[in-house]
Amino acid sequence: MDILHYTEAHQTFRQRVREFLEKEVTPHVNQWEKDHITPKEAWRNMGRNGFLCTWAGPEYGGMGGDFLYSVIVTEEMARTNHTGLAAMLHSDIIVPYIQAFGSDAQKQKYLPGCVSGDIITAVAMTEPGAGSDLAGMQTTAGIDGNDIILNGTKTFISNGINADLVIVAAKNPAEQNPYQALSLYLVEDGTPGFERGRHLEKMGFHSQDTAELFFSNCRIPKENLLGQPGMGFLMLMEKLQQERLMCAIGAQAASELMLEWTVDYCKKNKDASGKPLSKSQATQFALVEMTTEIKMSRAFLDKLIASHAGGENVVVETSMAKYWITELANRTSVRCLDFFGDFGLTEDCPIARAMRDVRVMSIFAGTNEIMKGIAAKFMGL
């Protein structure tokens, strides 16, 4: 019995997403990887076809779909073997902050564009001296009459170059408690005092525009406060369950895809004796071992997806899944690459790109050491 119950509408949607990506995205991926950015038109194309923010209601131009539609888009995007068109990040990690905490005016102003792809979003938390530890954040938000003045530096910001709207985490310098000082602010592209720094060169995620962001006396109206002042830390904590779950879903899909490629390669290619690689017992055992691990993690993940969709608190289990499945993706990439021999060293081998891209998954959305610490705390250790 399947844990997740996909309806005929879900299956039809998956087929539509897959056909769209095969026609409109995959043929362009190699160029986007070389350009180190995905064009904004690709985002708008995704939006026009209904593949961004699938949970958004019709009043914002969305389809009002359940969480499984987000899962489908993430899994099918994995098949494109690139990360630049980061639909999961935009649709299921960043924009939900606006949906959950935004005022009616903010929702009406921004959500339709987020759904259509006319607004690309980013979230700016990480700083040169503060990553997983939000309490170490140094970006400040001062008050001047009816305005808020932002000052600080953010780094490793995904969608940093393309972003039309950035959710910025900053602290009130007058508040001594670092967890009560944090608030979230909406900063639009073109706001005076908001500038982009380097478009960062990375080991992987080549088509993803990761950048530094600078805020120098960046003046925004008080109306751009997202949610209540001083509630930023709690807002971030509330949304981390879904962020880490989406990370696990992406890593799971990548693991399954890498295994699929490798099994197919081993069946079609021969060893020195002229037999298919898949007829070697050593190859068979390795593929069976990887398949077993991947199927076990899929069962765990699907249970968490069902629980999360049902509104359950699975923060601890999701932290475990994020740690386990992202490390599984890294192990799988290394083991799979070995089967490709010299071909695995070329850019024509899909595993080469996949291995670079999955490496960072154990670092972002909270490092896996942080994930283990969360689990240990709730275990009473």
Residue 227 pLDDT grade (very low, low, confident, very high; cuts 50, 70, 90)? very high
Residues 137-179 have pLDDT tens digits of: 899 999 999 999 999 999 999 999 999 999 999 999 888 888 8
Burial of 343 per CB tally in 10 Å (0-12, 13-18, 19+): middle
Q: Where are the domains of the chain?
A: 8-119, 123-228, 233-378
Burial state string for 149-174 with b = 16 or more CB within 10 A and e = fewer than 16: bbbbbbbbbbbbbbbbbbbbbbbbee
Residue 331: Cβ within 10 Å count: 14
pLDDT of residue 75: 98
Residue 135 pLDDT grade (very low, low, confident, very high; cuts 50, 70, 90)? confident
Residue with tokens 């896996």: 368
Residue 1 pLDDT grade (very low, low, confident, very high; cuts 50, 70, 90)? low
Residue 308: Cβ within 10 Å count: 20
User: Does pLDDT of 361 surpass 80?
Assistant: yes
- The reply to whether domains 8-119 and 233-378 share a CATH topology is no
Burial state string for 27-47 with b = 16 or more CB within 10 A and e = fewer than 16: ebbeebbeebbbeeebbbbbb
pTM score over 0.85: yes
- C-alpha span between 193 and 181 (Å, rounded): 22
48 membership: H or E segment, kind and range? helix 40-48
Half-sphere exposure of 74 (CA within 13 A, CB side): 26
User: Does pLDDT of 115 surpass 80?
Assistant: yes
369 is catalytic: no
Residue 129 pLDDT grade (very low, low, confident, very high; cuts 50, 70, 90)? confident
How far apart are the two ends of the chain, measured CA to CA in Å? 35
The fold of 8-119 is: Butyryl-Coa Dehydrogenase, subunit A; domain 1 (1.10.540)
CATH architecture of 233-378: Up-down Bundle (1.20)
Average pLDDT over residues 83-111: 97
Asked if the 123-228 domain carries CATH number 1.10.150.120, the reply is no
Helix, strand, coil percentages, rounded to 5, for the chain:
55, 15, 30
Distances (CA, A) of 245 to 2, 81, 99, 309, 326: 19, 20, 18, 11, 11
Among candidate residues 33, 75, 212, 243, the one labeled active-site is: 243
For the chain, give the mean pLDDT. Answer: 95
